[in-house]
Structure 1
Amino acid sequence: MNRIQHTIGLVVSGALTIETRPRYCLRAARQVVEHANGWEERRFFRELDWGKYRTAENIEQAPDTPWARSIEHAFIERGWTVPVEQARAGDLVFSRVPEDQGHVGPIGLGPDGRLWVLENAEVRRGQHLRGALNWVPLDEWPGITTVGRLPDAWVFQSAFERAHGFTAEFEGGYVNHPADPGGETNLGVTRRVWERWCKSQGHKVKAVRSLTLADVLPLYEAWYWQPLAATLPWPLSAAVYDLYVNHGPGNAKRMLAQAQQARPNASPLVQALALTDVRERFYRSIVAARPSQQVFMKGWLRRVHAQREWLKANAEGEEMPSKVFIRDTNGKNVEWDGKPTVYGGVTLKRYPDGAVQLERVAPPAPDPKDIPATPLK
């Protein structure tokens, strides 16, 4: 997912507020990049080390305030530029219009599929949003001098980040439920796990109640994503990651094996959905064995149902293949399990992308001894 594009969409729709006062184009652009990456205010400048690239005019007139032209100079000196013909959603575009201090705006895809620029400007052009914000087609943006290319890590969300986005919705904040065997927990990380992580990294143990997402993401990626999920195709990787977090490595591996046995030749999405079925049965077995856990069942099932819908919505265009039914010896239609089989003289085989191949089986050649001799006429 393009995080810059997503953030621009929030601004255009009015769901996110950025600087709307005129003459603050750089602040507006900075806020887009920082929101997209979950950064604190002004981190964009620190990441660029902007002080090294201040223009003489910037130093003379406003030594502590970055100008768009100085940020443009930083991109040029770092080699973070591309020709305007190669611009893409997530880039920053610079110009000297309307003034020599510079002008800047982030690029995104517009409603017509072309590249557009979100800008803070005194003039009104393109689609006026509110305050000083405009949404302007790139080819109508005047005086372009540089297209700055942000690092991919600032623009595109990794598979791990996408997967954790779902998991984080259900891990919640600080809890210390007396019926939860995990004990004191924050952002899904138990006190025991947190202390073990800190010891492995040589860090001072921060109080569990005070943990932030920035504290725990490295732990999640190293201990819960990399061992197994990182080796699998999307979105199966996301489904396995959530299991790894919620049930531990042993259970995650066993449930993955069961899902792949049930759908051996299916696509990653179909296997991921099969995994949610295995997971639901696992939850029910927990309650059957320990009735005291019934208090958590509603939340567990809500997570499973939400994951099914999330997987289908985030499968990167993969379509759910139609179910294939075979009539059994009793005349009943049963869903085919995906394993290669022969039915009614036709071979059925499902490929990894979910496609089903039907191939007629040639009848066996008759034995020559069984062919009656044809009398000569």
Structure 2
Amino acid sequence: MTAKNFAACMKHVLIFEGGKVDDPHDPGGRTNQGVIQRVYDGWRERDGKPRQDVYRMTAPERDAIYREGYWNQIRGDQLPAGIDIVVFDGAVNSGPHQSVKWLQRALMVTRIDGVVGPATLAAIDAHPDHDALIAAICERRLAFLKALRTWGRFGKGWSSRVGQVRRIGQAWAAGANDDGKGVAFIGANALMGASAKAPIENASPLPAKAPADAASGAGIASGGIAGVLQSTRETLEPLAGSSTFIDYLIVGLTLICAALIIVGLGYRWYAARRAHDIAEALDLPSGVTA
């Protein structure tokens, strides 16, 4: 195995990507061997050719798109064996920029910019354990995929794909030849849905804090439900002792207000924690909120 491993990586990625797909639930839309219609249109236009159905794409066109649009973007020829297929497969599925971010996160470099530059390459060379590095990249990728709206539909296939890419990458990093020996391949059924595109644009929205604000409210002026009930209770307080019903009503309103505030604060904590986890998985800037 050499670092210049484009053909071997392509062989496996094309298995994951499958053939012709036109799933309305797939963000990529009409796709042929991993190349979506929009990308194919742009490729032919830059080459001075008219648009045509991506289903008519030729093998040379496919290979050129993969090499220039993904492999060269991640500087695949400069990546060590094993790391190359892991980053390349992620680039095809979620875009080069995102896949490089997973690599940089796993390397714990200072700048996470989605670009393979001298600092990233130096960090790879200095890393003492490429087997562990590949595992960390795949863990970052899975966390990202779980933060997408389509995880429920395509998660099983994506998990299988990432698991198989991890095994192949670690085998190559250990010096295994690309003959399939020592690599545990997953059946085709387990890879159903694995070819669905997973762009960051399909991320789950960050949890809104509005429901908590509406329930608890920071006082009467906020207009929260608890604030309105508190105002009602305070209106009734002068009538306390005038009847058993009024007394029970005041006590009930007090308990409901307290419960709403507790629930509201609890949900705010959950929303903040969930927003942090999603932002972390998606590599969103610090401080991003719903």
Match 1:255 to one of 73, 98, 102: 102
**1:316, CA displacement in angstroms?**
5.3
Which runs of 5 or more residues in structure 2 are unaligned? 110-123, 177-290
State the distance in 1 between where 2:41 and 2:82 align. Answer: 31
Which residue identity is paired with 2:47? Answer: Q
Classify 1:272/1:203 alpha carbon distance in 2 versus 1 (closer, same or farther; 3 Å): farther
Match of 2:157 among 299, 302, 318: 299
For residues 57-116 of structure 1, give each alpha carbon's deviation from its aligned partner in whole angstroms, at most 9, with x where no partner exists: xxxxxxxxxxxxxxxxxxxxxxxxxxxxxxxxxxxxxxxxxxxxxxxxxxxxxxxxxxxx
Paired residue type of 1:309? R
TM-score (norm 2): 0.50
Residue 51 of structure 2 corresponds to residue 205 of structure 1: yes
1:190 to 25, 33, 36: 36
Give the aligned CA root-mean-square deviation in angstroms. Answer: 2.4
- How far, CA to CA, are the matches of 1:265 and 1:231 in structure 2? 15
* Residue in structure 1 matched with residue 24 of structure 2 by the alignment: 178
**Partners of 2:151 and 2:175 in 1: CA distance:** 37
| Mapped contact 2:81–2:169 kept (Cα < 8 A) | no
Relative to structure 1, the CA distance from residue 242 to residue 260 in structure 2 (aligned partners, 3 Å threshold; closer, same or farther) is same
Q: By percentage of residues, which structure has more strand? A: 1
Q: CA deviation at 1:299?
A: 0.5
- The one-letter code matched in structure 1 to 2:130 is P
Using a 3 Å threshold, how does the CA distance of structure 1 residues 316 and 208 change in structure 2: closer, same or farther? same
Which is helix-richer, 1 or 2?
2
Change beyond 3 A, Cα 1:261–1:210? same
Q: Which residue of 2 aligns with 1:281?
A: 143
Deviation of 1:185 after TM superposition, in Å, equals 0.6
Contact map agreement 1:173 1:188 (CA 8 A) in 2:
yes
Match of 2:166?
Answer: 308
Which residue in 2 is equivalent to 1:227?
A: 73
Structure of larger gyration radius: 1
Equivalent-residue separation in structure 2 for 1:273 and 1:294 (angstroms):
23
Unaligned segments of structure 1, at least 5 residues = 2-155, 319-377
Between the aligned partners of 2:138 and 2:94, the Cα distance in structure 1 is 13
Letter in 2 for 1:301: S
Q: Across the two proteins, how many residue pairs are aligned to each other?
A: 160
Deviation at 1:267?
A: 3.2
TM-score by length of 1: 0.39
- Alpha-carbon contact 1:198-1:205 (below 8 Å) kept: yes
Identity of aligned residues (%): 31
**Structure 1 contact 235–315 (Cα < 8 Å) conserved:** yes
3-state SS of paired residue (2:108) = helix
Q: Which runs of 4+ in 1 moved over 6 A?
A: none
